[in-house]
Amino acid sequence: MAEPQDAAGARAAFATYRRLVAARIRADWQYRTSFLVFLAAQAVVTGADFAVIAVIFTNVDQLAGWSAVEVAFLYGASGLAFGLGDLFVSPVEFATNHIKAGTFDGFLIRPVGALWQLLGVEFAPRRLGRTLQPAGVLVVVVAVAEVDWGPASVALVPLSVACGTVIYGAIWVVTSSFAFWTVETQEIASSFTYGGNALTDYPIDVLGSWLRRIATFVVPLASVAYLPAVWLFDKPMPFGLPRLAAWTGPVVAVAAALVARGIWGLGIRHYRSTGS
């Protein structure tokens, strides 16, 4: 197992990754109509989530003390982060298929990290469709929200999206690593990924207190959009956290990435080929 540690190795891994991604984009572009229809389908899927929020706000003026625009911010920021995580990191889910088919061995004998290869080989540009709709909503919300846009608030939005992408990516890697132990329970991953995405569309104030604690401290979903939104819209912090908690995204993201890397590494060491 060659996990490149030095700078030159990392550069080589990234160059390989870029080539694989470029190849996938060219490949998908050969079937243009299928690609565009699929892209549109992905956009509609995320659009349905937003339609749910829109329907809810035809019934109520606020949800757990949050206005429509504020919830739309949560949807836009977390949806964009989720979409980017989906685009770049969710290909790791295909680890299950490769482990089942016995083709995972191939990744291990090449001189580039298995994770980079997997993310490149299974990259699918159509997943970009998931980011379009939330990105549009986020732009509109930022334009209309009654926020005092100082330099700090302006910086917080892209920072949160970037950290959210890393956090979702880490969740994908961790849940996909389970496949090294059992290939059957892959659907549990959806509870964390798609479930997490559904959860971050709403203020966690709606949740029961036990689930709110899990989403804040265990699986750090609150860090994706909720805590920054609390700061932007001047809401009360949950659990008496200091207001600075809104800015902990980078720390949480780095921690999540390290945990994901550790668990993936454990999985690789645990891996036993299905043989042939």
Partner 1 sequence: MRLYWEVARTTARRLATYRGATFAGIVTNTVFGFILSYVLLAVYRERPQAGGFDAIDAVTFTFVTQGMLMVVGIFGNREMADRIKTGEVAFDLCRPYDFQGWWAAVAYGRAVFYAWARGIPPFLLGALVFDVRLPASAWTWPAFVAGAALAVGVAFAWGFLLQLSAFWIIDVRGPVQLGWVTAQFAGGTFLPLVLFPDGVERLARALPFASMMQLPVEIFLGKHQGLDLLVVYATQAAWLAALVAAGRLVLARAVRRVVVHGG
Question: For binding to partner 1 (CB under 8 A), which residues are involved?
Answer: 31, 33-34, 37-42, 44-45, 48-49, 51-52, 55-56, 58-64, 182, 184-188, 190-191, 195, 198-199, 202, 205-208, 211
Nearer to partner 1, 122 or 205 (CB): 205
Query: Could you report how far apart the first and last alpha carbons of the chain are, in Å?
Result: 20
For residue 234, the 8-state DSSP code is: T
Closest approach of Cβ 276 to partner 1, in Å?
23
Closest approach of Cβ 190 to partner 1, in Å?
5
Nearer to partner 1, 19 or 26 (CB): 26
Greatest alpha-carbon span in the chain: 63
Q: What is the Cα Rg of the chain in Å?
A: 20
Q: How far is CA 193 from CA 63, 127, 269, in A?
A: 23, 15, 24
Closest approach of Cβ 169 to partner 1, in Å?
20
The CA distance from 228 to 222, in Å, is 9
Helix (H, G, I), strand (E, B), or coil: what is residue 6? coil
The CA distance from 130 to 253, in Å, is 21
CA 47 to chain CA centroid, Å, is 17
Nearer to partner 1, 12 or 36 (CB): 36
Closest CA to 28 of 123, 98, 116: 123
Closest approach of Cβ 195 to partner 1, in Å?
5
Closest approach of Cβ 208 to partner 1, in Å?
6
The CA distance from 156 to 224, in Å, is 11
What the block records as the tokens of 111 is: 């001189």
Nearer to partner 1, 14 or 38 (CB): 38
Helix (H, G, I), strand (E, B), or coil: what is residue 261? helix
Closest approach of Cβ 74 to partner 1, in Å?
12
Closest approach of Cβ 51 to partner 1, in Å?
7
Nearer to partner 1, 113 or 196 (CB): 196
Indicate the helix (H) or strand (E) that contains 63.
strand 62-63
Nearer to partner 1, 219 or 232 (CB): 219
Q: How many CB atoms lie within 10 A of CB 2?
A: 13
Nearer to partner 1, 5 or 59 (CB): 59
- Calculate ∠ Cα 165-103-188, nearest 5°: 45
The CA distance from 139 to 274, in Å, is 48
Nearer to partner 1, 17 or 226 (CB): 226
Closest approach of Cβ 10 to partner 1, in Å?
34
